[in-house]
Amino acid sequence: VSIAPVLKFQINPRTSLTTEYNYQYVNMSPLGSAYAYTSDGIGTLPVNFSTLESNMSPTKINDHSFIATLSHSINDNWKLTGQLAYLQFNQEGSSLWPTSISGDTLRRSESVWDILGQIRVGQFFVNGDVATGKIKHRILAGVDMGNKDFYHDWNQTGAINGSAPFIVTAPVYGKVPATAYTVFDRSLSVKQRGVHYNNVYTALYAQDEIRLMNDKLRLTLAGRYTTTGDEDPFSGKVDAGKFTPRIGASYSLNKNTSVYSVIDETFIPQAGATFEGKEFDPITGNNKELGLKKEWLNGRWTASASVYQITKNNVLTADPNHQFFSIQLGQTQTSGIEFDVRGQLVTGLDVTLNYAYTDGKVTKDTDGKQVNSQIPGTDKSIANAWLSYRVPSGNAEGLGFSLGASHAAGRSAWYAEYDKSIDSSMPSYTKFDAATSYNFGKFGVALNVNNLFNADVFSGAYYSWSKFYYYQIEAHRNFRLSINYKF
C-alpha cells in the first residue's frame, strides 16, 4: 500500500511552499525466507526452496516521510530554497537464519528483527547566474544537515522445532505447531530494548559552473566540508571531518557531440568497531571518469561511452571468525568501461543497448590474503538489450510490446566468501523479460513477464563461520499485472 499526496501553496508570485507526505505499508514474509542453505554447494536446491512455514508471523513495515520545500525567487537570476524532511521507518518482524547444518539436516531458528528509524534532515541553499565579462558563472552554495537515529533489536532468538527434522533436499512443511515458535518479548518499546545508532552531520558546500567560449566549454569547481559524529554502544562516540573537492569539465565539439571528465573525492563515516573493539575509519576514496556523448538524426539516436576508476579505502567486510561483526578490508579499486546507445529503428520501434565491463579487485588488505582478488558480489561483464514497440496510430493506437535480454558473466560470490579453497565464482546467466501494455486516455494496463525462459539465476557464498553455503535464487517465470489511472 502506498499513499503520496502533494500540496503546493503559492504564497506570492515569487514564493511557494510545497508539502509532500509519503506512506508505505508492507506485509511480507520474515527476512531471510528467500535464502537457501546447503552443505554441498550453491545452486543445488530447487528454485522454490524456502525455510518458511505458512504459520509464521509476517514482518510488517510502516514507512512515513514528510517533506516541506520553501522556494523563493530573490530576483530573475537568484533563487533561495529551503527543505526540511522527517522520515520514520518502523519494522516489526523476524529473521530466519539456521544455527547449523549437518549433511542435509538443517536446524532452523528465528530471531526478532525490529527496527525504528528516525531521520531529520535539512538543506538550505542559494543558486543563481552571474557574469564577469564574457565568462558566465552558475553558482550553488548551501548547508546540509542531518540527525539520524536507528534502534535495532535482534537479540532474541529461538529454535524452530518441528515434529520431524527439516531435510533441505526433501523439505516437508506444515509440521511445526504454532506453539513451537519463540514468543518475542515486546513489552518494552524498540527504543528501550534495541541497540541505538546515531549519526549527526553538517556540511557546507559550494559549486561554480564556469561557462566559456559561448558555452562550449564548461568547468565545474566544487567543494564540500563535512563534519560528522557517530555513536553506538559498541564503539562509543566517533567524530570525523573532511573536505572533499570535485572538478569537472565538459566541452561541446559540435551541437551533437560533447566530451566530459570528472574527478571527485568521497567521504563516508562508518560507525561501529571490530570484535576486538577497534573503531572503524571513515571510507575515503576518489572517482576519475572520462566520457563521450553524441546524438544524431535530430536526437532520435543517442550514444554515450565512458571509462572510470573508483578507489575506496577502509572498506568493511564480514568478519569470518565472529558472526555479526565486521573488519576493515583495506582498499578496493574498480576500473571499467560503459557503453549505451538508444534510438528509433522505425516509427514506434525503439531499441536500447548497453554494456558495462567492471574490473573490481582488492588492492590492499589487513592481512594480505585478499589482495588482487575480485571484489565480492561484482560482475565483470553485464550486457542488456531491450526492444519496445508501440502502435502509433489506428484502432490499436496505444498498444505496446517489449522484449528484453540481460547477460552477466565473470560473477563473484558475496562478501562472506573467505575460504579460498572454495570456488568463489558464480555461474554466468542470460535472462529474458517481456511486457505488453495498452494505454488509452488516462487509463493504462500493463503485463510484465519476468524470466521468460526460466533461467537459473542465483548469488551467494560459503559462510565459513557456520560452515555452510547460503544463497538466493531468482524466481523462474513470474508475472505482474498493473493498472493505473492518471487524474
pLDDT digits (tens, 9 = 90+) for 425-477: 889 999 999 999 998 888 899 999 999 999 999 999 888 778 889 999 999 99
- State how far the Cα of 97 lies from the Cα of 427, in Å rounded to an integer: 25
- State how far the Cα of 378 lies from the Cα of 415, in Å rounded to an integer: 10
Chain mean pLDDT for the chain: 90
- State how far the Cα of 75 lies from the Cα of 362, in Å rounded to an integer: 51
What pLDDT does 148 receive? 95
What pLDDT does 271 receive? 65
- State how far the Cα of 484 lies from the Cα of 153, in Å rounded to an integer: 38
What pLDDT does 410 receive? 93
C-alpha to C-alpha distances, 245 to 276, 281, 311, nearest whole angstrom: 34, 20, 15
- State how far the Cα of 425 lies from the Cα of 413, in Å rounded to an integer: 6
**238, 228 Cβ separation under 8 angstroms:** no
**137, 90 Cβ separation under 8 angstroms:** no
Residue 227 cell numbers, joined: 563534519
Q: What percent of the chain has pLDDT over 70?
A: 95
- In which band, very low, low, confident or very high, does the pLDDT at 91 lie, cut at 50, 70 and 90? very high
- In which band, very low, low, confident or very high, does the pLDDT at 367 lie, cut at 50, 70 and 90? low
Phi and psi, residue 176, nearest 5°: -105, 115
Helix (H, G, I), strand (E, B) or coil at 101: strand
Q: Torsion-angle region of residue 55: left (phi > 0), alpha (psi -120 to 50) or beta? A: alpha
Instruction: Summarize the confidence of residues 79-98 as an average pLDDT.
Output: 96
Nearest to 140 by CA among 156, 124, 153: 124
Instruction: Summarize the confidence of residues 179-188 as an average pLDDT.
Output: 92
Q: What residues contact 286, with CB distance under 8 A and at least 6 apart?
A: 263, 264, 265, 266, 310, 311
Q: Is the pLDDT of residue 142 over 90?
A: yes
- In which band, very low, low, confident or very high, does the pLDDT at 392 lie, cut at 50, 70 and 90? confident
Strand partners, 98: none
pTM score of the predicted model: 0.83
Nearest to 339 by CA among 322, 357, 360: 357
Residues shown for the chain: 487
